[in-house]
Amino acid sequence: MKKKMAVTGFGFMGAVHAKNILENERLELCAIVDNRDSIFEGIEKTGNHGELGLPIDRLKKVPVYKTLEECVSKEQPDAVSICVPLFLHYELTRKALNLGLDVLLEKPFCPAVEQCDELINLAEEKGRILMVAHCVRFFPAWQFLSECIRDKRYGELKLLTASRMGGEPAWGVWLDDKIKKTCGGALLDLLIHDIDFAISCFGKPEDVELNLNVAEYWEFELKYKTTPARISIKGGFLHRHTAFASEYIATFDKGSVRYSSLQPEFIYAGTDAGSETIEVKGDGYANELDYFAGCIEARKPPIKCLPEESLTAISVCNQIKESKHNSC
């Protein structure tokens, strides 16, 4: 039987999750929860992915509630995807776990590590599955990179530079100056994706070195004893409406690979023997959701994306911020 899943927060990411739930054969989209009145207004063009290609007619048939409590009492969902602004992550996840739901929470986890810790313990106590939606782990281009690092098909990794930049979000809650201040800036909102990817490959870094920070632009290195590779991450927010791109260049002993989301269909690789073009297939958000669906079906912890690692990503961001303060 399909698991009943609700989406709380029907903005950019909520709409993406709702669409993917509708298209997932293990899940049923049983409700949408949002505290706004006209939730479909402008939804198709929200976010930084262009048109979202939403099945609007099907979405409009889904029951809509203003609060999670009301949704739970009427629909009895098994799980909820929480896609609200960061300042509500702790409160709503806590509520959902206490209501007995499995939770897929949009990244970043919570602003404070103590809050993350408390939610991890609460999920365990309630026997619920909690996963933070660190989607990059499920994006095919990054999965390819992760495999190259692991199976050493191009030799040992020497250098990884990951970059992520684009206009400051110009949709939803980001247009409210008061809420925008609580969204964590480019470090927590954007660069945490690459920090989390590094954590998925190498674990928690021993140290961080901040090389440059100008307003919402950051360049830093994650220092590891577990790998001889240098891991450099850079990026941030540009002026609103500037094209978004996430990119990587990885250099190994015997070859290099590079990818840019501006050309999402291909990864380019080069060795002394010649060049290679690798086709990128699949949707990372759909993969992520399907993985979560598998975990709640099998009652297994999300080992590919554990909340403990999502907590680590928060603590690395905090370390980077602290190193900024210490260098001032």
Ligand X SMILES: NC(=O)c1ccc[n+]([C@@H]2O[C@H](COP(=O)([O-])OP(=O)(O)OC[C@H]3O[C@@H](n4cnc5c(N)ncnc54)[C@H](O)[C@@H]3O)[C@@H](O)[C@H]2O)c1
**Count of CA atoms in the C-beta half-sphere (13 A) of 88:** 17
Between CA 328 and CA 325 the distance in angstroms is 5
> Which of 153, 94, 143, 148 minimizes the C-alpha distance to 121?
94
Contact 196, 107 (CB under 8 A): yes
**Minimum Å distance from CB 219 to ligand X?**
21
Tell me which amino acid residue 127 is: G
- 292: contact with ligand X by CB under 6 A: no
Contact segment (CB under 6 A) with ligand X among 83-91, 153-161, 200-208, 275-283 equals 83-91
Strands 157-167 and 230-238: parallel
Which helix (H) or strand (E) covers residue 271, if one does? strand 266-271
Please select the residue that binds ligand X; options are 29, 173, 267, 316, rule is CB under 6 A.
173
- 316: contact with ligand X by CB under 6 A: no
Contact segment (CB under 6 A) with ligand X among 28-36, 199-207, 257-265, 289-297 equals 28-36
- 302: contact with ligand X by CB under 6 A: no
- 171: contact with ligand X by CB under 6 A: yes
Q: 67 or 226: whose CB is closer to ligand X?
A: 67
- 172: contact with ligand X by CB under 6 A: yes
* Residue nearest to ligand X as judged by C-beta position: 11
Q: 164 or 234: whose CB is closer to ligand X?
A: 164
- 35: contact with ligand X by CB under 6 A: yes
**Count of CA atoms in the C-beta half-sphere (13 A) of 159:** 7
Between CA 140 and CA 199 the distance in angstroms is 17
Tell me which amino acid residue 303 is: I
- 130: contact with ligand X by CB under 6 A: no
Q: What does the binding site for ligand X look like in residue numbers (CB under 6 A)?
A: 8-14, 33-36, 46, 83-86, 88, 106-107, 133, 135, 171-173, 189
